[in-house]
Amino acid sequence: MSPTRRLFLGSLAAAGWSPMPVIGAPVPVLLARDARPDMDPRGWLVSEKLDGVRALWDGERLRFRSGRAITAPAWFTAALPQVPLDGELWGGRGRFEQLSGTVRREQPSDDAWREVRYQVFDLPEASGPFLRRAALLRHIVQQAAWPALEAVEQFELPDAAALRHRLAAVVREGGEGLMLHRADALRVAGRSDALVKLKPVQDAEAVVEAHEPGQGRHAGRLGALRVRAPDGRRFLLGTGFSDAQRERPPLPGSVVTYTYRGVTESGLPRFASFLRVREDG
């Protein structure tokens, strides 16, 4: 390690950084709750919600949040700083399927990975409020000086009207929605009110328990997935699948993401629709 790099890492340690523990184990990450449509964004940092694959960098390797290794080309990881990072591998708006195929390959394609950017939004082992961590993260990215490594833009908005206007603009341009992170929040793991997501539709995750057979034109293939939410609720996902997904549906035990619009009186998601299989499920 060069003297310059050693000095740089020393300055991060003084700011609260320490090495990420336990390689190969699930990584405790911050997960978002749903935002109220009328929430006041003052006191929050706002960013675009990226349709990518969550990726944790521990200074040596990239991992899914499950702890499973992501097989990236050596030239991609060699350009990353020796500092733990939390972010998403991203291929651009509307390109999730292509990105998913790229990051799941056991033999990475150099050409495909050259289309991937690592959009980082937090420092897993840094102390202090998010406002401070975001500033430190921008400094780390600037020091790395590599175009494929970007700090997600964080901005402030004055009121709920400005938040709605920004959400509409992002969605109109093909984005998913917005993320809001409390500026004064310390680093925590798990689902927390410190981080919320604002989208035209809500999304959540559930575990596949069984396949329901199709009828009519879907006879002989998947009709619906019987799934279980983390709180124990069970329901069916019968829409959102391509013909190929109905032919080869997610296996029982898989974790899937679905979209919905509010909940019914019985607490089940309304208009639930399959979105995708979670990449590290």
Domain boundaries, the chain: 3-198, 202-277
Q: Is the dihedral of CA 196, 100, 95, 200 positive or negative?
A: negative
Q: What does DSSP say about strands 44-49 and 177-182: parallel, antiparallel, or unpaired?
A: antiparallel
CATH dotted code for 202-277: 2.40.50.140
Looking at residue 274, what DSSP letter applies? Answer: E
Alpha-carbon gap, residue 20 to 84, rounded angstroms? 6
Residue-level pLDDT at 139:
96
Torsion from C-alpha of 151, 172, 167, 56, nearest 10 degrees? -30
Q: How far apart are CA 165 and CA 35, in angstroms?
A: 15
CA 83 – CA 18 distance, rounded (Å): 9
Count of H helices and E strands in the chain? 7, 14
pLDDT tens track, the chain, 281 positions:
444 345 445 555 554 444 444 455 677 899 999 998 789 999 999 999 999 999 999 999 999 988 899 999 999 999 999 999 999 999 999 888 899 899 999 999 999 999 999 999 999 889 899 999 999 999 999 999 999 999 999 999 999 999 999 999 998 898 989 999 999 999 999 999 999 999 888 889 999 999 999 999 899 999 999 999 999 999 999 999 999 999 999 999 999 999 998 788 788 998 899 999 986 64
Is 199 a residue of the active site?
no
> Which residues sit opposite 208 in a β-bridge?
227
Which phi-psi region, left, alpha or beta, contains residue 89 (left: φ > 0; alpha: ψ -120 to 50)? beta
Distances (CA, A) of 105 to 48, 69, 270: 27, 11, 35
Residue 220 DSSP symbol: T
Sign for the pseudo-dihedral over CA of 218, 221, 225, 226 = positive
**pTM, rounded to two decimals:** 0.73
Q: Which CATH superfamily is domain 3-198 in?
A: DNA ligase/mRNA capping enzyme (3.30.470.30)
Catalytic residue among 49, 63, 117, 278: 49
Backbone angles phi and psi of 47, in degrees to 5 = -145, 165
pLDDT on residue 202: 83
